[in-house]
Structure 1
Amino acid sequence: MFAYTINKDLKLVLPNPERDAKQLFELVDNSRKSMQVWLPWVANLKTVDDEIKFLKHVNVNFGTGESLNVAIYQKQQPVGMISFNHIKRNNMSTDIGYWLAESARGQGIMHQAVLAMVKIGFEDYGLNRLEIEAAVGNHESNHVAQKAGFKLEGTLREDILLLDGRYHDHNLYSLLRKEWQDK
C-alpha cells in the first residue's frame, strides 16, 4: 500500500481496483471530451471493467518497481491520477504522467500533485531525472510542467498520434535532482 499526504485535503493513494475503479472510470467518462484530445488511451477505456484491468496491471507494476500510478484524492474523493510511468533504474529516471477531472481543474491540485511526485521521486526513489511530455497545444499540461520548475529541453516533432488522426509535436520537460536541491 502506498499513500502520501500532500496536505489536509489532498492525498496520493495507490488505487484499489475493486474500491476505486467505478469512481475513476466515471471521472474519465465525464471528462472524456476534453481528455481524449490529448490522451489517446481515453478512447480505449470504455467500461468499469477496463478500469479494473488497468488498475490491476499498474498495481502489479508497482510491486515490481516498474511504475507508480496513484489516485489523487481531494477531501476523500478521487479527482484524477498521477504516475511515474516507466521507472528506468539503469539511469535513475522516469516520466510523469497525469490527468485531472474537469470538475477539479483550475484549483492548483495538479501543481501540488506534481510537486509531491517530484519529492517522492528524488527523496524516496533516489531518482536523478524526471521528465514530463506535453503536446505543444496542451497549454494546461505545459503550464503544470513549467510552474513546477521543469525546464523545456526541446520539442519532439510529430511524436504522438492523437484522436484527430494527426501526428502532434510534444514538448519535453525535465527536472534534475541537483536543480531541485538548489531551490
Structure 2
Amino acid sequence: MDVMQMVKDIFEKYNFQKIDFFVIIGNPIEQQYDRLIQKYGGRIVGTRKRHVMLPDGKLYDEKMYEILQEDYLNKRYGKDTG
C-alpha cells in the first residue's frame, strides 16, 4: 500500500511526469515491480547485462522500468491526458 500511495503522490500531488526505477534481476521484489507497472500502465524499458556488482563480487543484470504520468492517469482513472 505504501508504494501505491507513493506512486499516487508522485503523479497527482507533485505532478511528476515520469518515474524510472531499477531492480537486480532475480531479486524477489522483481515480480511485484512487474505487477506494479502492469497495474499503472508502465513498461519495462530494457535490461543492462552484467551492470551491477554486489558485495558477493558477482556481476548481475539490471532491469529498468518507467511509468509516465499520462499512462498512470489513464490506467487509474480512465483519463486520456495526451
CA contact (8 A) 1:132 1:145 kept: no
> What's the secondary structure of 1:165's corresponding residue?
coil
The one of 16, 25, 28 equivalent to 1:127 is 16
Q: Which runs of 5+ in 1 are unaligned?
A: 1-111
Higher relative contact order (CA 8 A, sep 6+): 2
Counterpart contact for 1:153–1:172, Cα < 8 Å? yes
Match of 2:44 in 1: 152
Q: TM-score normalised to the size of structure 1?
A: 0.37
The aligned residue for residue 7 of structure 2 is 118
Shift of 1:119: 0.5
Structure number, greater radius of gyration: 1
**Percent of aligned pairs with the same residue?**
25
Q: TM-score, normalised by structure 2?
A: 0.77
RMSD across aligned positions (CA):
1.2
Q: Distance in 2 between matches of 1:162 and 1:175?
A: 26
* Residue 30 of structure 2, aligned match among 142, 147, 151: 142
Quote how far apart the aligned CAs of 1:147 are. Answer: 1.4
| Equivalences, count | 71
Deviation at 1:168, TM superposition (A): 0.8
Counterpart of 2:56 (choices 134, 143, 164) is 164
Cα distance in 1, alignment partners of residues 64 and 51 from structure 2: 11
SS at 2:29's partner residue? helix
